[in-house]
Structure formats: C-alpha cells, structure tokens
Amino acid sequence: MNELHARHRRVLPDWLALYYDDPLEITHGEGRHVWDAEGNKYLDFFGGILTTMTAHALPEVTKAVSEQAGRINHSSTLYLNRPMVDLAERIAHVSGIPDARVFFTTSGTEANDTALLLATTHRRSNTVLAMRNSYHGRSFSAVGITGNRGWSPTSLSPLQTLYVHGGVRGRGPFADLGDAEFVEACVADLKDLLGHTRAPAALIAEPIQGVGGFTSPPDGLYAAFREVLDAHGILWIADEVQTGWGRTGEHFWGWQAHGRSGPPDIVTFAKGIGNGMSIGGVIARSEIMNCLDANSISTFGGTQVTMAAGLANLSYLLEHDLQGNARRVGGLLIERLRAVAAQDPGVREVRGRGLMIGVELTKPGTDLADPDRAAAVLEAARADGLLIGKGGGHDTSALRVAPPLSLTVAEAEEGAAILEGALRSTQ
C-alpha cells in the first residue's frame, strides 16, 4: 500500500470506495487523456464519473476560470451576479421548459434535493414515485428515493417512496415482452399503484439510469407515464445529471426520447456542465420554482468562478456540435463493442446511446451477474492504459463507458481495442 493510500485509509471513511487493487492518483490531464503520479498515461473513458464532459484542461474553460478567479471567486446570491444570470438565461433557453427559472447548486445530489423540496411543497405531499434500480444522490432525501440497494445505506427517510417498473428493459417481470407491450404493462402497473396511495408529489426518473448500469426503458415510456401523471396532477422530474448536454447524441436532453408530451415540469442537472467544476442546478416552470414561502439559498451554488466555467463549457460544446460528435463516434463505438460482445458468452448486453455505453457481464449461459469479472476487466483495462467505470443494480456487473464528448474516431477505436483485450484476458 503506497503512502497516500495509507493516509486515505486513516483519515477518510471506510465507505469511500476506491477503484483498483492499487488505487490510482490522477495528477493531470489533457484532452481525452490523464496521467497518474507515476507518469503512466491513460485514455479516459469515464471522465470522473461523466463529469469531465468536454475535455481535460480545455483551454476555453481554463482561461475563463483563470480570468474570473483574478477578479472575484464568490459573493453569494445576496448580490447580483452577472455570470450566474448569463448562464441561467442560456440554460433556460435550451431547457425547453416554458417560463423557466433556474436555481444553481453545487452538485446533482443538492439539485435533486431541491427538486424534491419544490415538488413536495408545490403539491403538499411527501409521497414520491421513483424508478427501481435508480440513483439520485447521497443526501438523506436523495437516498430515500434511490432504488438501488448498493447506494441506499438507510431505510429511514422523510419521504414515502413508491417504486415503479420500467427503468430496466432487460430484467424484471416484463422483460420478455415486446417494447410496446412492455410500455403498456408498466403504465398499467403505474395506474394500479396510484389506486393504492394518496396522490404523490412527483415521479423522479433518470432517462438513462447512470449508477444502475446505463439501463433505460423503450423510448416513449415516460411520455406514456406523463399522460397518467397529468391526469392526477403529479409532477415529472427528469434527473439529467448524467444524460444532459448532448451526451446521448440523439438528443440534447435524455427526456427528449420520451418527449411527445412536452418537457418535464422539473429538470435537474450537474456533472458535465461544469467540465469538472462544481455546478448543479434545477430548472422548473416559474409557478413551481416560486412556490417556496421562505428564504432559501445555496451558499456556493452559482459562485462566479464556476459560472464562468459553465458558460465557457456550454458555449464550446454547442459551437463544436459535441452532441453530433457523441452521436457519430458513440454509434461507431457501440457497434464495435457489440461485435466484440458477440464473441464473448459472458457479455449479456451492450446498451446505451451516444457516449453513454453499458456492457453487462454475466456468468456464461446464465443471467447471474459477474461482479468479479467486471472488477477484473477494470484492472486489465487499466494495465493497458484505459480507464472505465462500473455499476449496475445486479452486483455491479456492468462496465460503464462514458468518454468526453470530444472523443475522436481514432481514440474510440483505441479504447475499444483495449477493452476487447481486457475482456478476452478475463474469460
């Protein structure tokens, strides 16, 4: 155990997990690559859990942060803040939500916590619908609506949470149905559930479940849910912490794959918009955002230096059509990995959209998760210079592939070749 790892173990919580048998210290990065403390170079296919969305050390973002830090870092929301207003205007415009208001936080957890506060206050109900296998953060309220046992350390909660079918297409009681029948069955289940409870405040759902292993329902499920929710006055919260800003390639927001009924009532975001800086937030219609009748602030939400980073990053990804790049390069990468999977009996499924790809591993000939092999693939990929993630609701047996959106075709091919070798070496 190296000296930094020993210090980490002495002073930080036991539940603060580290990847790899020999944990990695990343010291710097550039583009789609990072380097560790020993000088080893890696192709980064995880981006700090989908947070370095555009590129490491992106000059436009670095310059904006440096220039803003030379003026002022922070003044709080008690004073007018031009960078915060500038970014809020741009986000409101791209949100698709009419008469949108934006509130900035420091993380996706805090964003989802705020969304729950707004929804329960607006609806005068503490009942929340959430998806099985979901993850929404580590605060007390967010843990209380997380449907993934591995990330829910307590059953105590200020909320009554009811879990809905549909977030995982390939498992569960409806897995054998066709897509249309799957949606019908999930809608019928939702209707039945609502007949047995007081009216919930909201349904919160990730369009693609991140920690859950990049699982998703058929397109249109949440639009079908929305028709039922609207009939009961129940709000729809789209957790776009991992899916937002064009990562899925086909859409700017993940909810747009389910959007025939229009935008959600509330959207939460974080991670990629800051390209590594701490930015989260909530977008909601004005009557929902303005429903609080007491003061509320986020001390570090909207601080000038993070807003400068967000503005520069959003401008860059729009001007360089990184959504289109995610669609093109991500499509090639998915097909390449599916070709690899076809030769590996332990790969149950390659799924995803754009540059958000899951590779689910099971023991050959069964549907039993294989977390040991997933861990072994991570180690083998790292040894050959590739960093990926893992997740899933079935014993963490899904590999998560989510490179920065500026990934090139050559880098996609390089990463796929390394991952292919890692899979072969662990069969």
Q: Is 145 in contact with 159 (CB distance < 8 Å)?
A: yes
**pTM exceeds 0.85, yes or no:** yes
The crossing angle, in degrees rounded to 10, of helices 409-425 and 371-383 is: 130
18 closest CA partner among 9, 27, 7: 9
Domains 3-58+321-425 and 63-319 share a fold: no
Q: By three-state DSSP, how is residue 357 classified?
A: strand
Nearest-CA neighbor of 369 among 175, 148, 171?
171
Q: How far apart are CA 103 and CA 82, in angstroms?
A: 14
Number of Cβ within a 10 Å radius of residue 424: 13
Question: Could you write out the DSSP letters of every residue in 252-290?
Answer: SSGGGGGGGG-S-SEEEE-GGGGBTB--EEEEEEHHHHT
For 414, list phi and psi in degrees, rounded to 5.
-60, -45
Place of tokens 């957790």: 239
Nearby residues of 206 by Cβ (< 8 Å), 6 or more positions away: 131, 134, 135, 136, 167, 212, 238, 239, 240, 241, 242, 243, 254
CATH architecture assigned to 63-319: 3-Layer(aba) Sandwich (3.40)
User: Residue 293: what residue type?
Assistant: D
Task: Give me the tens of pLDDT residue by residue for the chain, a chain 427 residues long.
Answer: 589 999 999 999 999 989 999 999 999 999 999 999 999 999 999 999 999 999 999 999 999 999 999 999 999 999 999 999 999 999 999 999 999 999 999 999 999 999 999 999 999 999 999 999 999 999 999 999 999 988 888 888 989 999 999 999 999 999 999 999 999 999 999 999 999 998 999 999 999 999 999 999 999 999 999 999 999 999 999 999 999 999 999 999 999 999 777 899 999 999 999 999 999 999 999 999 999 999 999 999 999 999 999 999 999 999 999 999 999 999 999 999 999 999 999 999 999 999 999 999 999 999 999 999 999 999 999 999 999 999 998 678 999 999 999 999 999 999 999 999 999 999 9
User: Domain-by-domain residue ranges, the chain?
Assistant: 3-58+321-425, 63-319
Q: Which CATH architecture has domain 3-58+321-425?
A: Alpha-Beta Complex (3.90)
CA distance 84 to 298: 13
Distances (CA, A) of 183 to 219, 220, 226, 422: 9, 8, 12, 36
Q: Determine the Cα–Cα distance for residues 233 and 254; give it in Å rounded to an integer.
A: 23
Helix (H, G, I), strand (E, B) or coil at 127: strand
> Pairing relation of β-strands 235-239 and 202-205?
parallel
